[in-house]
Amino acid sequence: MPEGPEIRLAADKVAKVLVGNRVETVNFGLPQLKRFESRLAGNSVTAVETRGKAMLTRFDSGLTIYSHNQLYGRWYTVRRPRMPRTSRQLRIELCTRTHKALLYSASDIDVLDEDELQKHPFLSRVGPDILDRALTKPQVVERLCDPVFRNRSLGSLYLDQRFLAGNGNYLRSEILWASGLDPQRKPAGLAADELETLAEETLRMARRSYRTRGVTVAPALARKLKADGLGYAAYRFYVFGREGRPCRRCESPIERRTMGSRNLFTCPTCQPLQMPA
Ligand SMILES: [Zn+2]
């Protein structure tokens, strides 16, 4: 399942061929969107933003294409006149003079003006995007301390898109391990320095995973593990998917549990249930 960093990478790819360019033709695969084709054509794309798994392609006319990738949506970019080799269903085709950006398979797509964006059922509910460059550590701390979130367990909060959009299953395990926090603990029970560390690791892990295309271990350690002959799947995470393997910090065997119906991995030594005395 794609998480924030993967969607942001797809958005970057689309932005590279569209932003600042005039879209000459627009083609929608869904009949109810056909009426927007001529309204969007001829306008330029100003930005490609993400809100969790949703992508917003903004036009200078004030209209925005909202697309949610769900589990199977996939963006391609190609130089014209090439087309991607795929048997998937074409949903959006945006053509500039030189390139095409194409979305396949996703079905949750809409064209919205600014007012409709504000009221959109998904967008109005989700929290700030975990990869938003403007998101700061104090803002994450503030969100953790919000009455809506402060009494929730970290394990459930870190899958909730209303808390931070773009957070996901592997990031949850990696962030909580890096912060030394058991997933059953709640923001309300954390000391000030624990909240600080958690906010810092939240931003650090998400941004690193985006930069490295899905690797959360620190660059120096990743290099060492690669030099030791480990493949991508074996070196990329600290704890996620590493049940029974030694913790990379203390060598205790990593444990697996289920929280929010998804697998969660922890180190029993590095992430004690009780606040250290
Ligand atoms: Zn450990």
How sure is the predictor about 133, in pLDDT bands with cuts at 50, 70 and 90? confident
Can you give the length of the chain in residues? 277
Read off the pLDDT of residues 32-51 as tens digits, 9 standing for 90 and up: 999 999 999 999 999 999 99
pTM: 0.83
As annotated, the active-site residues are 2-3, 53, 262
Distance 124 CA to ligand 1 centre (A): 38
Tell me what the mean pLDDT of segment 176-188 comes to: 97
Degrees to nearest 5, angle at CA 212 with 130 and 70: 50
Element (H, E) at 6: helix 4-18
Read off the pLDDT of residues 103-118 as tens digits, 9 standing for 90 and up: 999 989 999 999 999 9
pLDDT of 277 above 60: no
> 3-class SS at 194?
helix
Read off the pLDDT of residues 147-168 as tens digits, 9 standing for 90 and up: 999 999 999 999 999 999 988 8
Distance 121 CA to ligand 1 centre (A): 41
Enumerate residues 6+ apart whose C-beta is below 8 A from 196. 137, 141
Look at residue 273 in the predicted model and tell me its pLDDT.
87
Distance 271 CA to ligand 1 centre (A): 7
pLDDT of 72 above 90: no
Look at residue 1 in the predicted model and tell me its pLDDT.
46
Task: Write the DSSP symbol of residue 25.
Answer: E
Distance 159 CA to ligand 1 centre (A): 22
Distance 249 CA to ligand 1 centre (A): 5
